[in-house]
Amino acid sequence: MKNKFYSLALLPLLFGACNSPESQAPAPKEEVHTAVAVAKRVVDSKPPVSSSTSTTSVNYVSKPIVIEQGMLHIKGFMGTLKPTLKSALKQDKTSVTAMGACSSMAMDMTDEYNKVTQDVKIRRTALKYRNSKNKPDSTDKEVMYRLQAVNDGKPVAVDMGGSYRVYKPLKTKQACLLCHGDSNQISPKIAKMNHTQYPHDLATGFKLGEFRGAVVAEIKK
């Protein structure tokens, strides 16, 4: 059976002027109001936080079996990571230990998880990332613009040709703000560690409930 492809194409809004104002009669008020309304709807509907013009086409697929398989691995991975972070938070109220667990141990745990899986690989990514190893590619960015705009917590699946990617969006929780919140929420000690370990850190300034990033499961076909 053929796969069904759902394409998301980002089309830019084009503006142009062919003639000078002196050689062109003014448009009727009704046309002006209509044009402004249409332009506003297009601008309001564009995904936020896009810092560059992109022409990436993302093929979304509606295949429950793909999403279920991806979520099975994502939940398996998160099921090992979350207890580790919670334990670190309980041991050290300053959150220094938790930050170390999140920044270094999480990468080690990701590598360990991927060693025991053959056709599925797990990784984390974000638009505002801390570790350069989690830097998103062009497809990641376009998918996360959509997840950020919707922010309903539901996973989506993308057809990459030779594989599927399942993206599980993550929302910012209270514990995340200790390392990823505003400057008044991050202790000076944590802020110093962030700057020392990640001088190009982008992952701060989040609010409770905001889209934080995604866990991705890539499944070979």
Q: What is the pLDDT of residues 60-69, one digit of tens each?
A: 999 999 999 9
* Domain contains 50: no
* Domain contains 89: yes
Return the DSSP state at 7: E
pLDDT of residue 100: 63
Mean pLDDT of 180-188: 90
Query: What pTM does this model have?
Result: 0.70
Name the nearest CA neighbour of 180 among 134, 122, 143.
134
* Domain contains 4: no
* Domain contains 191: yes
The radius of gyration of the chain from alpha carbons, rounded to an integer in Å, stands at: 22
Q: Please tell me the total count of domains within the chain.
A: 1
Distance CA 120, CA 117 (A): 6
* Domain contains 180: yes
Distance CA 182, CA 180 (A): 7
pLDDT of residue 221: 95
163 class by beta-carbon count within 10 Å (0-12 exposed, 13-18 middle, 19+ buried): middle
Instruction: Name the residue range of residue 145's domain.
Output: 58-220
**Residue 135, pLDDT above cutoff 70:** yes
Per-residue model confidence as pLDDT tens digits over 80-124: 777 766 676 666 666 666 666 666 677 888 888 899 888 999 999
